[in-house]
Amino acid sequence: VRRAVIFDLDGTLVDERAAADAAASRWSASHGQRVDDAAARWAEIGERHFLRYQAREISFGEQRRARVREFLGAPLRDEEADARFADYLRLYEEAWTLFDDALPGIARARAAGLAVAVLTNGDAEQQRRKVRLLGLAPEIDHLIASSTLPHGKPHASAFAAALERLGCGPDEALMVGDSLSDDAHAAIAVGIPAVLIDRTDRHRHAAVPRVRSLTEIDYAS
């Protein structure tokens, strides 16, 4: 019997990429950078340093500074890099937005009698803030962020931590996320059924259950 659903946050409930792109364009323009490829460059640089943070090579604060220094090509002091990142962060938070199907999708899970957890690779404080500002907090029973865990997704222990919080076994839960590797494949590898949310049909050949809207998920099966 299904008792819980575990949602990924960024790219699944929150349109994180759109927010980051909008903020990057505005922020880089304010630093006199060429705007046409700013968002893509900022994202590429960010992903690289975020992976180092996830591998616990550098701290959350250090990956932000490294990102600013590389993007601006300037050997900024820590305080300068922090100040520039804070400017970006303000624009980024202003642009945070839910996907249209996020609240209806969670409501359907609730209507099916399921507990709702969010398992996200990221900083607990930032993700809590995001969930609160977007009005998601009352809809979520548990928020589990990788910064509070020994490892993030796709590590098996991240899913085990979510199941423990939910008090249910792997086959009583359903994982829903936009990452084929970190959400879908990783959950299935530990025995949690998974659904890939693929709004743009990027993974049409993936051999996992796939939906284009969170409102399409069949929680009964």
Q: Is 8 in the site for Mg ion (CB under 5 A)?
A: yes
Q: Which is nearer to Mg ion, 139 or 178 (CB)?
A: 178
Distances (CA, A) of 124 to 36, 60, 71, 152, 219: 32, 11, 25, 12, 28
**Residue 170 Cβ, how far from Mg ion at the closest point, in Å?**
20
Going by C-alpha positions, the residue among 30, 46, 36, 6 that lies closest to residue 183 is 6
Contact residue for Mg ion among 10, 15, 123, 198 (CB under 5 A): 10
Distance CA 176, CA 2 (A): 14
CB 24 within 8 A of CB 35: no
State yes or no: residue 123 binds Mg ion (CB under 5 A).
Answer: no
What is the nearest approach in angstroms of Mg ion to the Cβ of residue 108? 19
By CB under 5 A, what part of segment 47-76 binds Mg ion? none
Nearest to 165 by CA among 118, 100, 126, 133: 118
The CA distance from 162 to 141, in Å, is 11
User: Measured between alpha carbons, how far is 135 from 57 in angstroms, rounded to an integer?
Assistant: 33
- Rounded to a whole number of angstroms, the minimum distance from the CB of residue 183 to Mg ion is 7
x/- map, 150-179, Mg ion, by CB under 5 A: ----------------------------x-
Number of residues engaging Mg ion in binding (CB under 5 A): 4
Residue 198 binding Mg ion, by CB under 5 A:
no
Applying CB under 5 A, the residues found at the interface with Mg ion are 8, 10-11, 178
